[in-house]
Amino acid sequence: MFEFKAPCDYLRYMYENTPGFISRNIFYKNAAGADIFQQQLQTNKKLIYKHKYYNVPQCYTSMNSFLTANSRKTENLKRLNALFSDIDCYAVGMSQAQVMHNLQQDYFNRRIPRPTFCINSGRGIYLIWKIDEDLLALSRWQRVQRYIKDALKEFGADAKAIDAARFLRVPFSWNSKSNSQVTIIDFYDMQYKLYDISKEYGIPNDYGYPKTKKHVWGEPTPKQIKLAIDLSRKKQLPLPDLSSYDSTAAFIAEHYEPAVADNRQSNVINGYLNETIRLITNREGVGFREYGLFLCRAWLCQQTDDFDLALTTTLKINQMLHKPLSEREVIHATKSAENKVYKFKKETLIRSLNITETEMQEQQLIYLADTTAKERKKERESENNKNKYTKRLEIAGEVPKTDKMETRREEIAEMLKQGKTQVEICDTLNISRRTYFRELKLIQDGN
User: Is residue 46 domain-shared with residue 161, that is, in the same domain?
Assistant: yes
User: Is residue 361 domain-shared with residue 382, that is, in the same domain?
Assistant: no
209 domain residue, yes or no: no
On whether the CB atoms of residues 134 and 100 are closer than 8 A, the answer is no
Helix (H, G, I), strand (E, B) or coil at 114: coil
User: Is residue 358 domain-shared with residue 293, that is, in the same domain?
Assistant: yes
Helix (H, G, I), strand (E, B) or coil at 222: helix
pLDDT band of residue 14 (cuts 50, 70, 90) is: very high
Note down the domain range covering 251. 222-255
Q: Which parts of 33-109 are beta strand (E)? A: 35-42, 59-62, 65-66, 77-87
User: Is residue 344 domain-shared with residue 393, that is, in the same domain?
Assistant: no
60 domain residue, yes or no: yes
For residues 326 and 333, give the distance between their C-alpha atoms in angstroms, rounded to a whole number. 11
**Per-residue DSSP letters for 233-296?**
HHHT-----TT-HHHHHHHHHHH--PPPP-HHHHHHHHHHHHHHHHHHHH--S-TTHHHHHHHH
Please compute the mean of the pLDDT values over residues 36-46 and round it to a whole number: 94
CA distances for 243 relative to 228, 238, 251, angstroms: 12, 15, 13
φ and ψ of 34, to 5 deg: -80, 145
pLDDT band of residue 364 (cuts 50, 70, 90) is: confident
214 domain residue, yes or no: no
**Final residue belonging to a domain, choices 325, 344, 369:** 369
Please compute the mean of the pLDDT values over residues 80-90 and round it to a whole number: 96
For residues 406 and 397, give the distance between their C-alpha atoms in angstroms, rounded to a whole number. 18
User: Is residue 289 domain-shared with residue 317, that is, in the same domain?
Assistant: yes
**Per-residue model confidence (pLDDT) at position 260:** 45
User: Is residue 110 domain-shared with residue 237, that is, in the same domain?
Assistant: no
On whether the CB atoms of residues 163 and 74 are closer than 8 A, the answer is yes
212 domain residue, yes or no: no
1 domain residue, yes or no: no
For residues 248 and 256, give the distance between their C-alpha atoms in angstroms, rounded to a whole number. 12
Closest CA to 317 of 364, 275, 359: 275
User: Is residue 272 domain-shared with residue 361, that is, in the same domain?
Assistant: yes
Indicate the number of domains in the chain.
Answer: 4
Residue 72 has pLDDT above 50, yes or no: yes
Q: Which helix (H) or strand (E) holds 434?
A: helix 433-446
Angle at 84 between CA 134 and CA 3, to 5 degrees: 95
On whether the CB atoms of residues 206 and 145 are closer than 8 A, the answer is no
Q: What is the pLDDT of residues 152-180, one digit of tens each?
A: 999 999 998 899 999 999 999 999 999 99
Q: What is the pLDDT of residues 391-406, one digit of tens each?
A: 787 777 777 777 788 8
